[in-house]
Amino acid sequence: MGWIENDNWNAYAVVRKYSPDQVRWATQKMGYEPDGSRLSLLFRDPEDGVAEEAGNLMVTAGLNLLTSLLEGGAGTPFAHADAIVGTGNSSTAATVADTALGADNTANAYYQQADASYPQQSGGVITCQATFASGNGNYTWNEWCLATGSGGITPGTHLSAVATGVVMLNHKVASLGTKSSGASWVFSAAITES
């Protein structure tokens, strides 16, 4: 059993697409490739645009984790040290039984830890952000997810190998564009619980 978007679980995703020229300039200026928070300070707008998409599907494993944590049971909370953001290129419809992206364990999926200071929670809204640097996630983005796991996060293409005890919370299939090498895309999702 899972929740389809309704008054209880609403998600809104935004991808800010910084061009290879912007990333190159920012990297030269900073001396390192900056994350999304720094890129937004350096540039008024991303040259390659912004993609926005509403909605997602809370998967059964995510619902089970949420209810377990609410009841004081076992599970890894969705906190910075354990927060995982994933993107992939599969356009196969999401189902409540999903435990990983459709493109999981291929070169067309990538999971990584959320940016520093994310996720954040305020007024019933959880916001998570991850910067997919110039060398990561270079494929057509057709899906995304949030997950949690413990024991340190090692970025990669296979969700169950990224951390220990990984649980995918949600899954959304939507066309967000094609990321090319050299570009830096900043993915953020706001989830409202009401």
Residue 60: helix, strand or coil by DSSP? helix
Q: What pLDDT digit, counting tens, does each position of 23-46 carry?
A: 999 999 999 999 999 999 999 999
* CA-wise closest residue to 61 among 193, 171, 192, 191: 171
The count of structural domains within the chain is: 1
The per-residue pLDDT for range 153-182, each reduced to its tens digit, is: 999 999 999 998 899 999 999 999 999 999
CB 131 within 8 A of CB 117: no
3-state helix, strand and coil shares in percent for the chain, rounded to the nearest 5: 20, 40, 40
Residues 6+ apart with CB under 8 A from 16: 36, 39, 40, 46, 50, 185, 186, 188
Structure tokens at 4: 């389809």
Q: State yes or no: pLDDT of 1 exceeds 50.
A: no
Q: pLDDT tens digits for 77-94?
A: 677 789 999 999 999 999
Domain that holds residue 41: 3-193
Give pLDDT, residue 62.
Answer: 74
Q: What are phi and psi of 129, to 5 degrees?
A: -140, 140
